[in-house]
Amino acid sequence: MKLLKLVPDNTNIPFLKVRVVTFIVSILIMAASIGAVLTQGLNFGVDFIGGQMIQATISDVEQAPVEEIRTKVNSLGYGEPTIQRFGEPNQISIRMKLPEGAEDEPELANEMATSIVNKLKEDYPNTVIDGVDSVSGKVSSELFSTGVTALLAAMFAIALYIWVRFEWQFGVGALFALMHDVVLTFGLFAVTQLEFNLNIIAALLTIIGYSLNDTIVVYDRIRENLKKYRKMDMPALLDLSVNETLARTVMTSITILVPLVILMIFGPKVIFGFAAAMAFGVLIGTYSSVYMAAPILIWLKVGPDSFIPVDDGKSQEDKMKEGYGAVV
């Protein structure tokens, strides 16, 4: 039987030849992402900014009349609603700020939800309420800060682990690659204005995990080759390592991407954003392992000596001057 080989044997693609260009481009895209987040902002869900979200399906129409509903909800006097379609075209989510004083009087939030729901049911009798979320400002700011803490803690804990298992340069490289992935994903959410909620934090942490899979596989091979080919110069050695692991990289990216894309297409529409974030993350995670994580090792002066006991080359005299205190 002839088996499928996506990547031919013994490839020798000079990936890192363009490392300076790709690195600059990556930095620019990161800057653009940050810019997008700052200028456009993220479309935060009630999880993170507090407020009320009512999800409803208007079952007897093709398309939910968003503008009409906006006017109607607005006329109730609770302020301007944010109305979006989610999932099917006749499914909408209505987001409201919590009314003044609702922090102390949960009744007020209740009243608002009830009157919006009643209004919907009155004007569109076949409305099914899919869910009501109401999050107070206090809880939402807690959710936000724990979410950010989780992200940062995960990144640094992982970098620390890699430092312990490899060398500090590898830890820095991995951390940088992770930052690249996270920043770009934030950028994606700023540009698309997909709702950014608690689930997306989960997606981000997973992206971190799997982007790291790739980075570790490449790093593991670099470490192995550094011990094996002690005379090879760094760029060539990195290229060799990336090429040797290329078949695996392609294969794994596909096996992860295929289920995710299927989830995006056939899965419940409510997790479209979630699946999209992860698919995006897998793609850029693969890229960053090659073009962010690897070249940094060159610039941080990783060499064949990184994995054997270091003789720093300083003479005995120099060490004495620096106060090593050796007795001659």
Partner 1 sequence: MTDFPRWRVIMLYAILIFGVVMAIPSLLPEETRAKIPSFFPQETINLGLDLAGGSHILLEADPSQVAAVRLEAMEDSVRSAMKRADVDIERVSRNDGNLSFTVPNSSKVDAAREAILPITANAFGGRDWDFQVNDGNRIILEPTDASIDNSIQQAMETAKDVIDRRINELGTLEPNIILQGENRIVVQVPGLDDPEALKALIGKTAKLEFKLVDENADPDLTAQGKARVGSQVLPYPTNPSGVPFMAVRRIGGISGDNLTSASQSFDQETNQPVVSITFNSEGGQKFARMTQQNTGKLFAIILDKQIISAPVINEPILGGASQISGNFSIETANELAITLRSGALPVDLKIVEERSVGPDLGAESIRLGSIAAMIGTVSVLVFMVITYGRFGIYANGALIINVLLILGVMALFNATLTLPGIAGFVLTVGAAVDANVLINERIREERRRGRKIIQAIEVGYKEASRAIYDANITNVIAAVLLFAFGSGPVRGFAIVLMIGIVTSVFTAVVITRMWVTGWIKRNRPQELVI
- Tokens 């073009």, residue located: 291
Question: Is residue 255 part of the contact set for partner 1 (CB under 8 A)?
Answer: yes
Question: Is residue 62 part of the contact set for partner 1 (CB under 8 A)?
Answer: no
**In angstroms, rounded to a whole number, what is the distance separating the alpha carbons of residues 241 and 220?**
9
Q: By C-beta, is 29 or 85 nearer to partner 1?
A: 85
Using CA atoms, how far residue 309 sits from 41, 153, 254, 305, 326, in Å, is 49, 31, 40, 8, 20
Q: Return phi, psi of residue 93, to 5°.
A: -120, 130
Q: Which of residues 3-32 bind partner 1 (CB under 8 A)?
A: 3-6, 9-10
Q: Are strands 43-44 and 195-196 parallel, antiparallel or unpaired?
A: parallel
Q: Which of residues 104-123 bind partner 1 (CB under 8 A)?
A: 104, 106, 109-110, 114
CB 93, CB 83: distance < 8 Å: yes
**In angstroms, rounded to a whole number, what is the distance separating the alpha carbons of residues 177 and 171?**
10
Applying CB under 8 A, among 23, 85, 244, 305 the residue interacting with partner 1 is: 244
* Stretch near partner 1 under the rule CB under 8 A, chosen from 75-83, 230-238, 269-277, 295-303: 269-277
Tokens found for residue 34: 């940050």
Applying CB under 8 A, among 16, 190, 194, 216 the residue interacting with partner 1 is: 216
Going by C-beta distance under 8 Å and a sequence separation of 6 or more, which residues neighbour residue 169? 296, 297, 300, 301, 302, 306
Q: What's the CA dihedral at 248, 254, 259, 263 to 10 degrees?
A: 140
Q: How far is the CB of 103 from partner 1 (least distance, A)?
A: 8
Question: Is residue 147 part of the contact set for partner 1 (CB under 8 A)?
Answer: yes
Q: Which of residues 193-212 bind partner 1 (CB under 8 A)?
A: 198-199, 201-202, 205-206, 208-210, 212
Site size for partner 1, by CB under 8 A?
77
Question: Is residue 42 part of the contact set for partner 1 (CB under 8 A)?
Answer: no
Q: How far is the CB of 275 from partner 1 (least distance, A)?
A: 6
Question: Is residue 162 part of the contact set for partner 1 (CB under 8 A)?
Answer: yes
Q: By C-beta, is 209 or 235 nearer to partner 1?
A: 209
* Stretch near partner 1 under the rule CB under 8 A, chosen from 37-45, 65-73, 261-269, 303-311: 261-269
Q: How far is the CB of 57 from partner 1 (least distance, A)?
A: 8
**In angstroms, rounded to a whole number, what is the distance separating the alpha carbons of residues 268 and 294?**
37
Degrees, nearest 5: CA angle 41-67-51: 45
Q: How far is the CB of 76 from partner 1 (least distance, A)?
A: 18
Question: Is residue 64 part of the contact set for partner 1 (CB under 8 A)?
Answer: no
